[in-house]
Structure 1
Amino acid sequence: MNESSPQQTHYDDEISLVDLAKILIKRWKTMAVIFIVVVLAALAYALLQPRTYSYTSLYGVAEQGPYDALESPEALVAKAQSLYVGPETRELLDSLGLQNLPFSIEIENPEETLLVSLTSQAAETHVEAVTQLHEGVLARLKESQQAMVKRRKEALERQLQSAKATLDAAKQSDSMGAAEVVAGVMGRIAGLEASLVELREGEISQTAVQSLNPTGTSRTLILALGIVLGGMLAVLGAFFMQFAGLVCKSLKEDA
């Protein structure tokens, strides 16, 4: 008889699926309260969280010919990151009276394009600051490119003027090779004139255009995660309350 008591105690400590179901049914009010509280907290967080959008600006680089950049987009990206973003950010912070901007700016060259893109993810309340920062960086890019286009144009015009002077001299020459010189110089003049025509300044395609859809975690996903978390915490809460109740009962019996 004594040998069977440990085995009997072992069986009494086991919890079956029926016992678990009984606990959940018995503690349904606790589960309901925990579930509702968690879901309401998730809903409040989803509704109060500011909607974040992506704002994109595009700059088309200056070209010296069809699909032939006067300055590579990669070089412009590096220049903007190292020379332009810092000063423009400091000016914006001073004007707004802030220590740090509530958003960042990413500058890159989309693959297989002659574009430089500026992208920031920010709440709608910060759209003016985003626009101001993008406009400042774009203005510096355009100013730098305009200076480069101007230098290139002046160089081409000097070469064209020199070629025309050479052509006039060749036409007045009576040498046997004058005709070949004239033909060569005319070809060069045609090439220089074509280069001047094809030379195109960079342009700002768009400034801080807002994305159609919000970025980041959607409100629906937050609510769905709240429902799942609420269900898990409700079950765990029911078991914890049952455990706490048994502990209190055992302490009273010992007392």
Structure 2
Amino acid sequence: MPQLEQTPQQPQHYQDDEISLVDLAKILIKRWKVIVITFLVVVFGALAYALMQERTYQYVSIYHVAEQASAQGVPTGLESPNSVIAKMENLYLGTVARELRETEGLESLSLGVSASQPADTLLIRLTSEASENNASFVVTVHEQLLSKITEDQDKLLERNRERLEQQLATAEQAMSSIEQSDRAGELMATYIDRIAEIENRLSQLNEGRVVQVAVQSQSPTGTSRTLIVAVGLVLGGMLALMMAFFSHFTSLVRASLREEKGG
């Protein structure tokens, strides 16, 4: 007789491990207290963190470097903004921070100042982020930095003015000395053009100026409180479901241990 193939039976433990959507729903209903408590704890924790977080603002100062006329007649900086920024970062910033710490009696001052040049401008942009409680420190640091930049730019402007005035005096003296020479007419035109050029360059010298000092941004920077609460809601929902299943799993383990002890 031919033997009939027997279908192997699934192990009992495999059948017990199967779970349906109905079983999942039952677990969530049975563990609703765990879900609610976990969700509320996470959400209230996120809300408390958002309310306790210190709101920070951005403070911006702007400086326009001293100008001179270029060979093409287009205004250009006596010193490039990037060069001024390098001086500020390497020479002025450390000194200003140290003086402020000593004046205010502070052990440390965690106040960052970043500088940049807006594209195609002769502007320098100083930026700091701080809370409203530290706004006075930001203003002081920016004012002192701008003061040192202005002082250095004024000295540079004065040196250039003195150099041009000396060139102007030399050209005028030379023109006076050739008035009686045979080539006076030819050379006179050359010196007149030279004197006009120097006078034009003198008139194009413009000192650097502070445009604004530590203007506070209208809205806070960094992570908003709304986003923190929204993340708390999502995380609270996920953790609540995880805790419900974990609670159910631990209860099954305890029940299994009790059965083994009873047997």
Shorter-chain TM range is over 0.9
TM-score (norm 1): 0.94
| Alignment check: 8 A CA contact 1:102 1:122 kept | no
1:252 paired with 2:258, answer: yes
After superposition, give the CA deviation of every residue in 1:93-145 in whole Å (9 maximum; x if it has no partner): 22232233233111121221111111111111110111111111111111001
Mapped pair 1:121 → 2:129:
yes
How do 1:1-255 and structure 2 match up within 5 A?
Answer: 4=9, 7-65=11-69, 66-171=74-179, 173-175=180-182, 177-255=183-261
| Matched AA of 2:215 | V
TM-score by length of 2: 0.91
Give the gaps of 5 or more residues in structure 1.
none
Paired residues of 1:67 and 1:114 also in contact (CA < 8 A): no
Task: Give the counterpart letter for 2:121 in structure 1.
Answer: T
Range that drifts further, 213-222 or 59-68: 59-68
Cα distance, 1:165 vs structure 2? 1.2
Aligned pair count?
A: 251
Gaps of 5+ in 2: 1-5
RMSD over aligned Cα, in angstroms? 1.5
How far the C-alpha of 1:249 sits from its partner, in A, is 1.5
Q: Which amino acid aligns with 2:196?
A: A
